[in-house]
Amino acid sequence: MKTYIRMVLGLLVVAVAPTQLPGQQRTGTICGNPATECSSSYSFSSYQLAFQIRGKLVFGKTYKSLPVYAVILKSVKTSGAEDCVHVSEEERLEVQALIPDRKVFASRVSCPEELILYSNVSQDVNFLAVYAGANFAEAKTTLKLVKATGRYRQAYIRRMQVVLEFST
């Protein structure tokens, strides 16, 4: 932390600002095109939306992507039981074939050994989604592309971050 001390209108003002250590990463860029290799310290699974993480991973640390938009295609309620309920890899790959230049990903909340979470979504469901870009205009274009396939008419846009809880 850096401390700044200034005189403002005759008053002593002290401000504390967080500092970023060299090599320390706050957020990472999403790897949204499945045809492009993602340079990351963490080995993401094929069904996860990967993001760049630089440097050695530190146990107990949380890593986050930059905020992005996704088009949610489908949701399934998690059972809370030992068997985790999620969208199948076969379905994910079918959709990936329809939209080859946008990463199609799926959440696996409550699944054993899953370290990846997605912010701004219910943790009671798992979903199938398409990476829709960093801005809302790009997300709307992706939503139109998805709806044009005729398969996911209830699809909608959601802003989120990918979160790696590197602790288990």
Mean pLDDT to the nearest integer, 113-125: 93
Is 40 a residue whose pLDDT tops 50? yes
Lowest mean pLDDT among 13-22, 29-38, 148-157, 159-168: 13-22
Quote the pTM value: 0.83
Is 143 a residue whose pLDDT tops 70? yes
Calculate the average pLDDT of the chain.
87
Q: Is the dihedral of CA 147, 152, 154, 159 positive or negative?
A: negative
Q: What percentage of the chain exceeds 70 in pLDDT? A: 82
pLDDT at residue 11 in the model = 52
Could you count the other beta carbons within 10 Å of the beta carbon of residue 161? 18
pLDDT at residue 61 in the model = 93
Distance CA 36, CA 162 (A): 18
Is 83 a residue whose pLDDT tops 80? no
Strand 68-77, strand 125-133: pairing: antiparallel
Is 9 a residue whose pLDDT tops 60? no
Distance CA 6, CA 22 (A): 26
pLDDT at residue 81 in the model = 62
Of 28, 30, 55, residue with least CA distance to 41: 55
Distance CA 26, CA 142 (A): 27
Query: Residue 141: which residues within 8 A CB-CB, separation 6 or more?
Result: 133
CB 28 within 8 A of CB 53: yes
Instruction: Tell me the chain's radius of gyration from C-alpha atoms.
Output: 19
φ, ψ of residue 113 in degrees (nearest 5): 60, 20
